[in-house]
């Protein structure tokens, strides 16, 4: 593991899924910060300035799509890569996520290799 690992922020309201995504990233050498609610997401992102974000779409307070749109509207957050991970898998849902600024849109359930590949593709 490097001395200064890249940081990933996981924003996912299902604790089991958040923990699984976090562990997937930790074993790949990332420093992981998790949020189980979307309310504080923007302030966490502002504070952490992560290298990548794993973001769920369907959350009770603020949808992942709204968080993504807020990020893309801000010059200081607009370039952070975001991997959307969602149970919403219809073509229109994927299109909405990508148009909102997702770097990658993965549908649940997400396998370890798919998430690992998505992160590797972002950093190439």
Domains of the chain: 7-115 (3.40.50.2300)
- Render the burial of 57-92: b for 16+ CB within 10 Å, e for the rest: bebeebbbbbbbebbbeeeebeebbbbbbbebeeee
Residue 42 burial (CB count, 10 A): 17
Residue 2 pLDDT > 60 = no
Residue 63 pLDDT > 60 = yes
**Residue keyed to tokens 């974000």:** 53
Give the pair of three-digit tokens for residue 76. 């200081």
pLDDT digits (tens, 9 = 90+) for 16-38: 999 999 999 999 999 999 999 99
- Percentage of the chain lying above the pLDDT 70 cut: 98
Give the pLDDT confidence score for residue 85 in this predicted structure: 96
Q: What 8-state DSSP symbol labels residue 56?
A: E
Give the pLDDT confidence score for residue 124 in this predicted structure: 86
Give the pLDDT confidence score for residue 123 in this predicted structure: 87
Give the pLDDT confidence score for residue 1 in this predicted structure: 46
Q: What is the mean pLDDT of the chain?
A: 94
């Amino acid at each position: 593991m490097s001395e200064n690992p890249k940081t990933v922020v996981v924003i996912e309201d299902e604790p089991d899924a958040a923990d699984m995504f976090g562990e997937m990233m930790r074993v790949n050498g990332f420093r992981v910060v998790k949020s189980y609610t979307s309310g504080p997401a923007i302030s966490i992102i502002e504070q952490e300035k992560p290298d990548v974000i794993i973001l769920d779409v369907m959350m009770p307070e603020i949808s992942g799509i709204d968080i993504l749109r807020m990020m893309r509207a801000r010059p200081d957050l607009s370039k952070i890569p975001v991997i959307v991970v969602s149970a919403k898998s219809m073509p229109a849902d994927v299109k909405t996520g990508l148009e909102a600024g997702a770097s990658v849109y993965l549908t649940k359930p997400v396998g370890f290799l798919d998430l690992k590949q998505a992160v590797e593709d972002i950093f190439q």
